[in-house]
Amino acid sequence: MRLFVTLATVSYLLMGCAANSPKTIVLSPDIPHVTTQTANAMTPIALSSQDQRSANYIARYLDGDEVSRYVSPAETPNLTLERVFNQALTQAGYQIDPASNRALAIVVNQAVTDVDESMLGMGYEAKTKLAVTIKAENENRTFSKSYSATSTLKGPMSADFASLELDINKLMTELSSRIINDPELNQFLQ
């Protein structure tokens, strides 16, 4: 009887923790390290972003083949990346100017973390996938290139938000760095 009461109490406490878990993930990637990319001082560029994801969540918790819950981002990934690119492009030698005839659009196609907690009590596995298309215009020419990144995070017990946020933000920083330091893109913008 004592074992039953203990198990019931632990189950109740765990259910309470799950019910009070955060409902949003905060996206706040670091500004990536950039090198000066333009020979012309403060080359003007118009910056914009679009969110073309098919769903508005950033993480989905899987229990076998079923989704047990969805978690939304505090801010859409395209706005987060636009803010990062604004600062990073300025560091790279560009001047953000909405009236410029050089334009750079960040299109977020995919940003999702699948969290599988059905590993028979052995822990969890979180797989994050990011896919971004960069569209640039320079006078009468256009440039388009797709970038993607993935990561896998494994841990004991259940996934905690701090670890998921850290992994997603780290991956966004890594992808932003690859894009901003891409010589092909920078050559086109100049």
Per-residue pLDDT at 9 exceeds 80: no
Number of structural domains the chain divides into: 1
The CA radius of gyration of the chain, in Å to the nearest whole number, is 21
Q: Which residue bears the tokens 């905060």?
A: 26
pLDDT in tens, 20-58: 466 888 899 999 888 776 666 688 999 999 999 998 999
Q: Look at strands 124-138 and 66-73 and give their pairing.
A: unpaired
Q: Which helix (H) or strand (E) holds 107?
A: strand 102-116
pLDDT in tens, 120-157: 667 888 999 999 999 999 888 999 999 999 999 988 87
Range of the domain at 121: 2-189
Q: Please report, for residues 3, 4, 14, 15, 120, the alpha-carbon distance to residue 7 in angstroms, rounded to integers and kept in the order given.
A: 6, 5, 11, 12, 18
Q: What is the CATH number of the domain that holds 77?
A: 3.30.160.150
